[in-house]
Amino acid sequence: MIKTHMSEMEAILREYLSHITYIDDDFKIAWEEEDQEDVKRPGRSGAYVQKEANEENTEEITKQDSLWNFCLFMQKRYPDISLIPVPYFQGITEKALKNYIDSAKLLVIDWELESGAAKTAIDIIKESNFKNLFKLCVIYTSNLSQAQEDFYKNMGYKEEQIKTGGEGNKTYIYVRDHANLFMLCEKRQFNFDDIIREFTGLFLKEIGYFSISFIEMFSRLEKQIPRYLNDFKEPFDSLLLLQAISDRMPFVDLNYELDNMIMNTLRDDIHLNGNVLEKICDQKMKDIQSLLDQGNYEDLNGRILGGIDRICDSIKGCAKAKNILKKIQFSEYKQILLTAISDKEQPYISIQEAAVKLTDRYLDIEFEDGIAQAGEWNPAQKEALRKEYKKLKSKEIKKKMTDAIPVFLIMLLEPEKEWNQTLRKLIFMLKICKYTESEIELKDIFRDCHTPDKDGNMELKRIGKKNRDWKLTYNKVKQGDVFFRYAKDRSTQVEECYLCIMPKCHMLRPDKIDGKLQLIKGMVKDAKSGRVLRENEHLTLLPNPRMENQTLFVTWQFYNVFSMDLEYLDSETYGGLYREYRLDDDYVRQIMGEFNAFYAKVGVEEIFAKNNIIFPGILAREGMSPNV
């Protein structure tokens, strides 16, 4: 089953990579690949001349002819490849090149543009949008060793960043940085089928399987565009306008609802390939197995000890645990790791089995260390005490080991990688939407809505002398908005957060609730804190908006509710809160559900007789007595 699914994922990727944008100044590469005997192989001299067998007749092949022949050749030889040939010449504009490069799925570029001027190819790569959009790029060269040297020198890569892939005579050089995946291969060894095949394997190794899900999704959406155009043709515009006018809202305030409408339409065609997690798990298990089989004791032992350090150093009070874990032998860890990866279909089962073994060994060492300080014991007493000790502590330690082993396995494969940047992206995808700079400060959110009073507080404008102009506040703040308060002496340090939990209808028209918004207060906690959450709290991981690689651990306290009055915004609120994010609707509803459940708990009435129709009257009467 795994093999079938993997072939499916590879097929999706191969189809994507079959859309090639090829930049070259000399398209005679096609003739070098042709096996027909009647076609001579011209040299790479830059001259477009091909001589036939009869030397008396010489046919000059122009650039236009060469390109035409190349296109015919590609159609015949590679019918499954969609290739856009881009002829390079000195007069081509940067804008024209940029348009081709930005739209390329897989970019193949000749290294020896302009008769061996490798600097030209480097300039194209540097001047294009390679640092802002992740690019898949193949450097096609007739001199791999020279191109490799020129490449890492001119691109600023260190020699150790250059890696080798492939097998036999199909070997290539590659570099992966934070924004690009470059593959360098030799023209004599690689045709276009070879490039796609090898780059597919390189992509899976360096980028992974999950990205293929995006490729599949967007490919499916692209094919559905004609249906969308048909669904939304007139009179849809007219009906949409009628609905907007009926809502009596400024058009700009309805954009959020339109976004939701479009997403609901697309959601039918957006679904993840159900096999992607199987692929990820299968590949990671194979990588760990390969690591265990390679026989490099020093490397594997260093990874094990490094993983123990990283996990224990990230949790308060783990110094003792770290010492115990480092007493476990290498051979024992190897067996525990083999157990952890033994079930590829249901990895959590094998991880639990590994946690049982690790817990048992951990408690043995902990018991021996403790008993050694308690004097001599006879064997029977010692064994009885050991069993009782394990019985008391096994459940607690097993839970911690079960949580730690998956992290430990990933750290074995990626011992040097920092996870904060990737975690930040994952949080954005799963939980939050980021606001633009013009939507963060309250003065921008409520632009032209308030006027300052003598104390510096902001008062909502009026219509006439009495009535407030509540329409100015419509749809300005949304359910799930997260407000940050920063330390006064450190603009990047978050002191506390506030989460808006008001229903959407009240956020659309705040005058229904007199402009009083309820927000849950969130405290930023130490990431190493081992404190267990209480039932009236919820933990959320949020990226620090002003520190790229910092993840905040925010505990929402349901008992700590903050009120924001849109009619009178005090100066501390107006100038001190920044709306950086909005949480995803489903996630907000989850938190609101916990919040409502906490306040809906059944308990003893604080005044047991308050529902009695007589008792309140007696209290009111006594309240008027001078003797009370």
Measured CA to CA, the distance from residue 434 to residue 376 in angstroms comes to 64
Distance CA 108, CA 191 (A): 12
E strand or H helix at 137, and its extent?
strand 135-141
Is the confidence at residue 415, as pLDDT, over 70? no
Q: Structure tokens of 22? A: 């090829």
Segment 189-214 shows an average pLDDT of 86
Total residue count of the chain as it appears in this document: 628
Query: In this predicted structure, what is the pLDDT of residue 38?
Result: 41
Enumerate the domain spans of the chain.
2-215, 228-263, 276-417, 423-599
For range 512-540, the mean pLDDT: 82
Q: How confident is the model at residue 282 (pLDDT cuts 50, 70, 90)?
A: confident
Q: What is the pLDDT of residue 460?
A: 92
Is the pLDDT at 608 greater than 70? The verdict is: no
Q: Is the predicted pLDDT of residue 63 greater than 90, yes or no?
A: no
Q: How confident is the model at residue 165 (pLDDT cuts 50, 70, 90)?
A: confident
Q: What is the mean pLDDT of residues 386-398?
A: 90
Percent of the chain at pLDDT exceeding 70: 82
In this model, does residue 136 exceed pLDDT 60? yes
CATH topology of domain 423-599: SH3 type barrels. (2.30.30)
Residues 6+ apart with CB under 8 A from 152: 158, 159, 161, 162, 175
Closest CA to 200 of 15, 447, 325, 441: 15
Q: Nearest to residue 46, comparing CAs of 91, 127, 126, 110?
A: 110
pLDDT score, position 255? 73
Tell me if 367 sits within 8 A of 389, measured CB to CB: yes
Least confident window among 9-23, 144-158, 407-421, 502-516: 407-421
pLDDT at 533 over 70: yes
Tell me: pLDDT of 348 over 60.
yes
Q: What percent of the chain has pLDDT over 90?
A: 18
CATH annotation of 2-215: 3.40.50.2300
Residue 279 makes CB contacts below 8 A (sequence gap 6+) with 2, 5, 6, 9, 209
Rounded-to-integer distance, Cα 571 and Cα 431, Å: 30
Calculate mean pLDDT across residues 412-420.
Answer: 69
Q: Which has more pLDDT, 621 or 461?
A: 461
Question: pLDDT (tens digit, 9 = 90+) per residue, 102-118?
Answer: 888 899 988 877 655 55
Beta partners for 541? 553
Most confident of 130-134, 417-421, 561-565, 610-614: 561-565
Q: What share of the chain is helix, strand, coil (3-state, %, to 5)?
A: 50, 20, 30
pLDDT of residue 52 exceeding 50, the answer is no
> What is the structure's pLDDT at 531?
63
Which pLDDT band, with edges at 50, 70 and 90, does 610 fall under?
A: very low
Residue 88 confidence class, pLDDT cut points 50, 70, 90? confident
Region 308-333: mean pLDDT is 87
In this structure, are strands 106-110 and 170-176 parallel, antiparallel, or unpaired?
unpaired
Lowest mean pLDDT among 2-6, 26-30, 562-566: 2-6
What is residue 225's predicted lDDT score, i.e. its pLDDT?
A: 87
The predicted pLDDT at position 330 comes to: 92
* Relative orientation angle of helices 2-17 and 276-293, to the nearest 10 degrees: 100
Residue-wise pLDDT tens digits, 214-254: 888 888 888 888 888 888 888 888 887 887 787 776 776 67
Answer yes or no: is pLDDT of 264 > 50: yes
Question: Is 363's pLDDT higher than 90?
Answer: yes
Q: Work out whether strand 494-500 and strand 481-486 pair parallel, antiparallel, or are unpaired.
A: antiparallel
Q: End-to-end CA distance of the chain, in Å?
A: 82
What's phi and psi for 128, nearest 5 deg? -85, 180
Beta partners for residue 110, in sequence order: 140
What is the arithmetic mean of pLDDT over 139-161?
Answer: 81
